[in-house]
């Protein structure tokens, strides 16, 4: 597989073309951003952890019937993925009140919901990724009605799978963000990543934050938190 020119660089990853037009290479960076890029920094080793964790979790989701962009891991930072056109909807699944939800609605962080809360935001940095509902998404032609139903179904199934998995690792999945893409034949599949960058992961016993909130909130111990989550994941897989 030949790596060709870079075609995209985001906040956390670079994407390269390959000699196969249906395959891309994703390269995970150590760069960290928060608040739509207003806060910037570096988390040493983050790219390695996020690459490996995303790949392991996506393979697990594949085994449970969720189609993903994962093809194979190439190195500690690079992964071969299926080419997709990203649906410009960020999908947030919340099991516990935290972050922007708590601020927006005046709800204490830690409130456990009776049912998962599913949110969409418009993936548009210039607009600040505003919240939107299904009607907005349809009006803006971001996705078709069938695609939105597929995305909702996948998101809630992913939540059930990940909640159970992380609980077995002694971790509570408070909330997480997903992105989906369209393949060349129009199928909707899971893309992007699943990592401490995109998930709120709390120690089930102590409530300690083991995710990017340590960077957002200047809590310190960011690298250690990412490493701890990765260690628990690998220990679970080794059992």
Q: What percent of the chain shows pLDDT beyond 70?
A: 99
Query: Looking at residue 125, what is its pLDDT?
Result: 87
Would you state the CATH architecture of domain 3-82? 2-Layer Sandwich (3.30)
Mean pLDDT for 14-18 is: 97
| DSSP type of residue 43 | -
Class for the domain spanning 85-238: alpha beta
User: Which tens digit of pLDDT belongs to each residue from 152-185?
Assistant: 999 999 999 999 999 999 999 999 999 999 999 9
**Nearest Cα residue to 11 out of 190, 195, 161:** 195
**Tokens in use for 194?**
């699943």
Mean pLDDT for 58-83 is: 98
Query: Looking at residue 34, what is its pLDDT?
Result: 83
User: Which tens digit of pLDDT belongs to each residue from 111-122?
Assistant: 999 999 999 999
Mean pLDDT for 6-21 is: 94
pLDDT of 31 above 90: no
Question: Domain residues of the chain, as ranges?
Answer: 3-82, 85-238
**Nearest Cα residue to 31 out of 16, 9, 53:** 9
Distance CA 105, CA 107 (A): 6
């Amino acid at each position: 597989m030949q790596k060709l020119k870079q075609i995209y660089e985001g906040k956390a990853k670079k994407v390269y073309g390959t000699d196969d037009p249906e395959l891309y290479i994703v390269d995970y960076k150590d760069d960290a951003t928060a608040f739509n890029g207003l806060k910037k920094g570096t988390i040493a080793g983050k790219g390695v952890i996020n690459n490996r964790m995303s790949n392991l979790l996506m393979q697990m989701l594949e085994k449970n019937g969720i189609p993903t962009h994962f093809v194979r891991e190439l190195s500690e930072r690079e992964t071969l993925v299926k080419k997709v056109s990203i649906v410009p909807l960020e999908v947030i699944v919340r099991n516990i009140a935290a972050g922007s939800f708590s601020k927006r609605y005046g709800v204490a962080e830690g409130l456990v919901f009776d049912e998962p809360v599913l949110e969409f935001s418009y993936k548009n940095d210039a607009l600040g990724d505003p919240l939107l509902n299904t009607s907005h998404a349809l009006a803006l032609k971001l996705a078709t009605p069938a695609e939105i139903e597929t995305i909702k179904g996948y998101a809630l199934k992913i939540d059930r799978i990940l909640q159970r998995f992380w609980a077995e690792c002694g971790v509570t999945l408070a909330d997480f963000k997903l992105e989906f893409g369209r393949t060349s034949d129009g199928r909707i599949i899971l893309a992007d990543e699943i990592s401490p960058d995109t998930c709120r992961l709390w120690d089930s016993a102590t409530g300690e934050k083991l995710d990017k909130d340590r960077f957002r909130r200047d809590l310190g111990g960011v690298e250690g938190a990412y490493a701890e989550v990765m260690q628990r994941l690998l220990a679970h897989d080794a059992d």
